[in-house]
Amino acid sequence: MECERGALRLSGELLRELGATTGVAFLSSPRVWKLWGSAIARGMGAGRGARTVLFADGEAAKTISTVEKICRRLAAIGLDRRGTIVAVGGGVVGDVAGFAAATYLRGVRLVQIPTTLVAQVDSAIGGKTGVNLPEGKNLVGAFYQPALVVVDPGLLRTLPARQFHSGIYEVVKYAVLADRHLFEFLENRMEELLRQESSALDWIVPRCIALKAQIVSRDERESGPREALNLGHTFGHALESLTRYRRFLHGEAVGWGLIAAARLAEAINWLTAVDAARIEALICSAGALRPIPRISPPKWIAAMRGDKKARGGRLRFILPRQIGEVRCAENVPERVLKSILSGLDRPRRAN
């Protein structure tokens, strides 16, 4: 792991430190590669002859079909078992490229160079890879650790504003689940973060990475403590699936999921009204979320039953007990859940 502003300049040296490789294939999206491809290929010693596999980086492209096309392209360019895949892009590119690396020739070396805030603080860290099915998000995948992750906050300067805001909701997730100090930092300095001031961004990115690394090191395959990272995701993944991955960016869906989790935790007396209001206010301070279309509670619940965290069709939620602490809740009364879901598209009432 290398995380610092300017880390991209070290990528070639870091790659060489991993040992010999018979070739490098860069997996990216057309837009990201146009912005950063030359610099990254040059920095890694590939130059103009870089072998690239480009694919769409929207959630709609996060499918088994896309992985098959990538693997066929890798075979065509002759990448062998001692080759290296370098994923350059956001969360979708990282997840798809990571799954391809895990399965092509039963596993080749993987390097992640995340270019979005969501990917830098979350999805590029921890070794979870996967693709979506019509029945739900990330239902096909593998745990596959990258050999190297290069995080350079300077890459975020070309990120569209909506994508950057989407990443902030994932940062809020970390604050709610494990870091009250980070939460207070965001409350006090959100405007600086929104302006991408380096003093704020360069403090937040490595802190989130350290939090995730600490959790993942205790539970690499999500059998216990790592489940905490799914805060907001049971709701968020359902929302993405119900809107066919076209209306919301992943972080935006997580933002709504955090609001739903806070309201549900308050409703079952796990969270005080004051903390629930603070969580919702912090999410809103990062920017207005796209409105939720009208979705009936039964449709919500059916979609959530397909979530990876469900057990025997029984819903399980990661919910905050206080800012900085979460627990897993089971057997939430359905009437309470329906009440939360039916009013999720309405603003919180002032106390």
71: domain CATH number is 3.40.50.1970
Same domain, 255 and 284: yes
Residue 225 shares a structural domain with residue 80: no
> Within a 10 A sphere around the Cβ of 14, how many other Cβ atoms?
18
Give, as one character, the DSSP assignment of residue 270.
S
Same domain, 144 and 175: no
Indicate whether 166 and 308 sit together in one domain. Answer: yes
- On whether residue 351 sits in a domain, the answer given is no
**Digits of tens for pLDDT over the chain (351 positions)?**
999 999 999 999 999 999 999 999 999 999 999 999 988 998 888 755 579 999 999 998 999 999 999 999 999 999 999 999 999 999 999 999 999 999 999 999 999 999 999 999 999 999 999 999 988 889 999 999 999 999 999 999 999 999 999 999 999 999 999 999 999 999 999 999 999 999 999 999 999 999 999 999 988 888 788 999 999 999 999 999 999 999 999 999 999 999 999 999 999 999 999 999 999 999 999 988 999 999 999 999 999 987 766 677 789 999 999 999 999 999 899 999 999 999 998 867 655
Residues that are catalytic: 106, 128, 170, 212, 222, 226, 230, 233, 237, 250
Residue 193 lies in a domain: yes
Q: Is 330 helix (H, G, I), strand (E, B) or coil?
A: strand
Strand residues in 15-96 grouped as ranges (E): 24-28, 51-54, 84-89
Question: What is the reported pTM?
Answer: 0.92
**Residue 238 maps to a domain:** yes
Judge contact between 131 and 99, C-beta under 8 A. yes
CA 193, distance to chain mean position in Å, is 18
Domain containing 51 equals 2-155
- Does residue 349 fall inside a structural domain? no
115 and 184 share a domain? no
Beta carbons within 10 angstroms of residue 158's beta carbon: 13
Number of domains comprising the chain: 2
306 and 188 assigned to the same domain:
yes
